[in-house]
Amino acid sequence: MAVILRFPSESFTPATGLTHPEQATVHNLVRDLTRCGLATGVTCHNDGQFMRVFDKRGHAYFIGREDRMCLLYDPDENLLSESRCFPTVLDALDQRLSGFLRRQAK
């Protein structure tokens, strides 16, 4: 008797790296931040292993996954957010980059 294996889908959370939908979500967020003048670009490395998001000063933030944990590091390699929930890390990135605008308004 054969064992039927299900084909992996995008809902599968990899141990390392970002899924294609997660990469698209980061690109969309950066597009919105760029329109507001809060980001200058995004790069994807090693076929989605990690991404770098550049703030308006050109400093790079690292976003990726290691051991099934989503991670966000600032340009000085300080851990800003760690969660199994990818949207939590995206919210932290959005808040960090949007915070530049709030600080300048003061």
Check residue 102 and give its pLDDT: 47
Integer Cα distance of 38 and 70 in angstroms: 22
List beta partners, residue 71: 64, 82
What DSSP state is assigned to residue 24? H
Check residue 106 and give its pLDDT: 46
Integer Cα distance of 5 and 65 in angstroms: 25
Residue 22 burial by Cβ neighbours in a 10 Å radius (0-12, 13-18, 19+): buried
Tens of pLDDT, residue by residue, the chain (106 residues): 666 655 555 556 778 899 999 999 999 999 999 999 999 999 999 888 899 999 999 999 999 999 999 999 999 999 999 999 999 999 999 999 987 544 454 4
Check residue 3 and give its pLDDT: 65
Check residue 105 and give its pLDDT: 46
Check residue 6 and give its pLDDT: 59
Pair 71, 87: CB distance under 8 Å: no
Tens digit of pLDDT for each residue in 86-95? 999 999 999 9
Q: How many other CB atoms are there within 10 angstroms of residue 34's CB atom?
A: 15
